[in-house]
Structure 1
Amino acid sequence: MCTRVVWNEPSGGVLVGRNMDYHRDTGTNLWSLPRGVERNDGVGGNLAWRAKYGSVVAGAYDMMTVDGMNEEGLAGHVLWLTESTYGTYDNSKPGLSMAVWMQYFLDNFATVDEAVSWIDRTGVQVVPLGDPATGEVPAVHLALDDATGDSAVIEYLDGKAVIWHSRDHVVMTNSPTYDKQIDLLRQIEGFGGDKPIPGTDSASDRFARAAHYVGRLPDPENPVEAVAGILSVMRNAAQPFRTPAPGKPYVSQTIWQTVADLTNKRYVFESTTRPNIVWVDLDDLDFSEGARAGKLDLLSDTALQGGLAGEVSGHFEKSDPMQFLTLPS
């Protein structure tokens, strides 16, 4: 479930596309989160911070961030990884609830290198929490990318962070683990092997297709063409709507897509069930310390009927900051 692709386009721009594939609606709205908001780890408060950077994020159930970017051009993307094992939480060490995990990086860092160095230095743990809609405990990994074109994939295996940090790691999907995905890609024509580009919706096939097509995009003449280019790759890796097969009630479909233009600081959101694309120019939002958070309601009748379209920074409604899901005390 889900695909993320970084495009370091020939003229120097950096864009990131992401598909959210899931078997139910995640109640996603967009949030504008200013600097200066105080947050904590959601697992006891041993780690607390004050947001250094403002960000625009896509939420799940208005209780966790699963995609987004900050005003410095650092972006994050949470995707499913069944093999994730986070270990037993040791509250004597720094930890972050899964709900606020990605947000910590957007709040505190401007580059992938800064974020990776912090993980290496602290050995931070991730603490899983049940899905507020079902109680199901997700198993996820995290991608980070920035305006320099740098990239990192962070997976928790056997209770410890395993990090693949390189500008070369431009694609991420789901199972198997990232090292095995790289090995599978080497079997594909153009990446060292002789197998043709595969066409199924499996994670490894989507990985191969995304890697193939993002490397063949033409140089765009302007930012709009750049967004269109990366969206064309994401649509090729998307999963169609379908009726679940017997014994497979949780078959996923692509429910929304995003593009983060890390160079021009623009965040694009497209629902697969609504007629219009919306985007936010981060320069048009007030991220100043003391400003109120903003919420763009994507679930109202107006949004569902296509009333929202184009640049929508003026449609965010003032709100209290997002309240992240926390570990029950």
Structure 2
Amino acid sequence: YGYQLANKKYWSGVDPLNFLPGSGRSEDRFVRASFYINAVTQSDDPRIAAAAVFSVIRNSSVPYGVSLPEAPNLSTTRWRVVADQKSMLFYGESATSPNVFWVDFKKLDFSEGAHVRKLNLGVDMNCSGQLIPDTTLSFFSA
């Protein structure tokens, strides 16, 4: 962590709006995340705040499937999570699924003797079959 902070200090002399380090190395991803976390929209709305944090995490994640023999410590980001401790919300996203899921901890029973629960993350979230007709929208041709 100390090395990351020293590297961030080194990059502080560069205008981040004109140039940010862009490699997949952890040092470069740390610098990008450090800049963007302070540049994104700051909001008290839990959904907006989570969206902003996810955008920073995605920007500094290692793309799915990246594996370089010369960089054995560089590995695919498989999960991204945001924990909103103020609103008691936990957001998660798998690199192999196009959607975010969330859990509202205020709606769970953590009392002694409460049932143990788990989330089935293998559920197909394809909503194609849930699309319904809408007569208020129409397609037009030019």
Normalised TM-score (structure 2): 0.76
Residue 266 in structure 1 maps to residue 89 in structure 2? yes
Give the structure 2 partner of residue 115 of structure 1. Answer: none
Q: 1:246 to 1:290 in 2, by over 3 A?
A: closer
1:306 pairs with 97, 112, 125, which one?
Answer: 125
User: Is the partner of 1:258 in helix, strand or coil?
Assistant: strand
Q: What is the Cα deviation at residue 243 of structure 1?
A: 5.3
Percent pairwise identity: 36
User: Is the partner of 2:77 in helix, strand or coil?
Assistant: strand
Give the structure 1 partner of residue 28 of structure 2. Answer: 205
Give the structure 1 partner of residue 42 of structure 2. Answer: 219
CA-based RMSD: 2.3
Q: What is the Cα deviation at residue 184 of structure 1?
A: 1.2
- Structure number with higher relative contact order (C-alpha < 8 Å, ≥ 6 residues apart): 1
CA distance in 2 between counterparts of 1:207 and 1:224 reads 24
Normalised TM-score (structure 1): 0.35
On the 8 A contact 1:210/1:233 being kept in 2, the answer is yes
Give the structure 1 partner of residue 77 of structure 2. Answer: 254
CA distance in 1 between counterparts of 2:101 and 2:75 reads 23
On the 8 A contact 1:239/1:254 being kept in 2, the answer is yes
Q: What is the Cα deviation at residue 214 of structure 1?
A: 0.6
Q: 1:241 to 1:297 in 2, by over 3 A?
A: same
Tell me the amino acid that sits aligned with residue 47 of structure 2.
Answer: V
CA distance in 2 between counterparts of 1:242 and 1:250 reads 14
On the 8 A contact 1:244/1:250 being kept in 2, the answer is no
CA distance in 1 between counterparts of 2:30 and 2:74 reads 18
Q: 1:183 to 1:275 in 2, by over 3 A?
A: closer
Give the structure 2 partner of residue 234 of structure 1. Answer: 57
Tell me the amino acid that sits aligned with residue 75 of structure 2.
Answer: S
Give the structure 2 partner of residue 288 of structure 1. Answer: 111
Q: What is the Cα deviation at residue 202 of structure 1?
A: 0.8
Give the structure with the larger helix fraction: 2
User: Is the partner of 1:280 in helix, strand or coil?
Assistant: strand
Alignment of 1:1-329 (within 5 A): 178-189=1-12, 193-194=13-14, 196-220=19-43, 222-242=45-65, 244-246=67-69, 251-298=74-121, 300=122, 303=123, 305-306=124-125
Q: 1:248 to 1:184 in 2, by over 3 A?
A: closer
Tell me, which stretches of 5 or more residues in structure 2 are unaligned? 128-142
CA distance in 2 between counterparts of 1:209 and 1:236 reads 8
Q: What is the Cα deviation at residue 226 of structure 1?
A: 1.0
User: Is the partner of 1:254 in helix, strand or coil?
Assistant: coil
Larger Rg: 2
Q: 1:203 to 1:248 in 2, by over 3 A?
A: closer
Give the structure 2 partner of residue 97 of structure 1. Answer: none
CA distance in 2 between counterparts of 1:233 and 1:258 reads 12
